[in-house]
Structure 1
Amino acid sequence: MRVVTELSPPHQTLVQGEVSGLSTELVKDVLAAAGLAGKFELYPWARSFRIARSQPNVLIYNMARTTEREAQFHWIGTVAAYQLGFVALSHRDDIQINTVTDAIHYTVAVQRDDISADFLMKNGFKKGMQLVLAADITESWQLLFNGKVDLVIDDPVALTGMAMQLGVANQDVRFVYGITELEQHTWLAASLQTPPELIERLQQAHSQIAKTERYRRIMASDYR
């Protein structure tokens, strides 16, 4: 099967050209338990999302299970825990956020078709004003480091990995404010055109993997 995702350390990383990371290992475990082979591909989120919505036999992770997406995919099982919030450069001590709406006074980079973008737009952030839509998380962070935006949205556990990815010091960034509404367990899902027998095999395999210690630690965020 074709398996698509985005860069999102430590869940999805790229090591010597191979897709790796905590959630990737869980997905590989699920495929192995189902007796299936997977070709893992890393793209900007919007592209991965389009591929999974339009082509047969495609798996995608890590995806938020929202009302809008519910009927667009087959849902296999959860493979990550996220605690998203606003991230700023450490020297920007002028940025003080105590509520989501406080951030409306700043510019925020988020990825296209990402749940964070939808959430912020529903809370009054406007594209081209407070909200800058990026192709992927790397572009969002580059906009932050280049001073084009004030904030990005990410998980605090991702800060070290993203700083390393961009070749900057971990202490150059700080997690400013956690967004409770964006705390979630994210899913491995399959395209609607995937045969029902494969969906059943994958769901049963996920049930097996969900009983393992590795799965429990990742979902409980014990790796942090």
Structure 2
Amino acid sequence: MFGVNQWLKLLKPARAMVLWAMLVVPSHAIDIELYTYEVAPFAMYEQGQATGLLVEVLDELFERANLSYQLQFVPLKRALITVKRQPNKCVLPVTRSQEREAQFQWVSPVAIYRFGFFSKPSQSYDLTTLIDAKPYRIGSFLGSGIGEYLQSLGFTVELSSTTQQNFAKLNRDRIDLWAAELISAKHIASANGVAMEPQMVFYTALGAMACNDKLNPAHLSLLQSTLNGMYQDGFMGRIYHRYGVDI
């Protein structure tokens, strides 16, 4: 659990002094407690500060809605269990499913994920449709869901424990194509001094905010309508473009 000083670092400086006063009173003074998990560059905790695309979206969303929040980095599985059991809490981003749908209230989409096939910069493949990638060795990572999806369609997929491992395997010719989320893949490539563009984009998924089923309905409605407005006025498009992907 983070201490008071760490919570302050997770918030915009302009709100820090206000939050200090709020933190010394009972926790219900914070409107919503949020959980997320580290996936670069969507959400990261670096040098005592939360950064990333998703964190910027949260700052804008709650500022527009005039609601306060705390953010804590917790593994997704643990966060889902906690949010399900305790009121006034939400976790994001979460993939909606039939099993989860009735267990939570939802604000969506807080994140848009586009998946594509990447090759070595020195290698190019003629990919027009998804089936064109079937002859090749494809790298993905456990837990992403994309590797399992491609396997279910009969593709040859090698699953690694992290997506970073697939970047290394691609450059060592151990796989032909890397199936990865576009923003994450470009971030990893850039960190290694390489510029990469997908050979093709083949899948889009949505990430949602899953909230306790007893969350204040007025807060839930306000967050959803505010998020809708952020898409309508172009804020979401601009921030994704800044991270290298158009939605």
Fold equivalence (TM over 0.5)? yes
Partner of 2:37: 5
Partner of 2:78: 51
Give how far 1:163 is off.
Answer: 1.6
Alignment of 1:23-102 (within 5 A): 23-31=54-62, 33-41=66-74, 47-48=75-76, 50-56=77-83, 59-67=90-98, 69-71=100-102, 73-93=104-124, 95-102=125-132
Partner of 1:133: 159
Q: Residues 219 and 206 of structure 1: is their aligned pair in 2 closer, same or farther, counting only changes over 3 Å?
A: farther
Query: Is the 1:30–1:206 contact (alpha carbons within 8 Å) kept by the matching residues of 2?
Result: no
Separation in 1 of the partners of 2:150 and 2:51? 30
After superposition, the C-alpha distances for 1:140-192 in whole angstroms (9 at most, x for unaligned) are 32332343322222344444422233x2321xx3311110xx224432223xx
- What is the aligned counterpart of 1:169 among 190, 194, 198? 194
| Higher RCO (CA < 8 A, seq sep 6+) | 1
Count of residue correspondences: 204
Partner of 2:214: 196
| DSSP-derived class of the 2:70 partner | coil
Separation in 2 of the partners of 1:38 and 1:147? 40
Give how far 1:86 is off.
Answer: 0.7
Partner of 2:12: none
Query: Is the 1:34–1:204 contact (alpha carbons within 8 Å) kept by the matching residues of 2?
Result: no
Give how far 1:214 is off.
Answer: 9.5
Give how far 1:222 is off.
Answer: 4.6
Q: Residues 69 and 17 of structure 1: is their aligned pair in 2 closer, same or farther, counting only changes over 3 Å?
A: same
Same amino acid, percent of matched pairs: 18
Give how far 1:97 is off.
Answer: 2.4
Separation in 2 of the partners of 1:115 and 1:189? 18
Partner of 1:207: 225
Partner of 2:207: 186
Partner of 1:116: 146
Partner of 2:235: 217
Is structure 2 residue 133 aligned with structure 1 residue 103?
A: yes
- Structure 2: stretches of 5+ with no match in the other structure: 1-32
Separation in 2 of the partners of 1:218 and 1:35? 20
| DSSP-derived class of the 1:76 partner | strand
Separation in 2 of the partners of 1:66 and 1:164? 33
Query: Is the 2:107–2:223 contact (alpha carbons within 8 Å) kept by the matching residues of 1?
Result: no
TM-score (norm 2): 0.66
* Structure with more strand by fraction: 1
> In angstroms, what is the RMSD of aligned CA positions?
3.2
Query: Is the 1:8–1:137 contact (alpha carbons within 8 Å) kept by the matching residues of 2?
Result: no
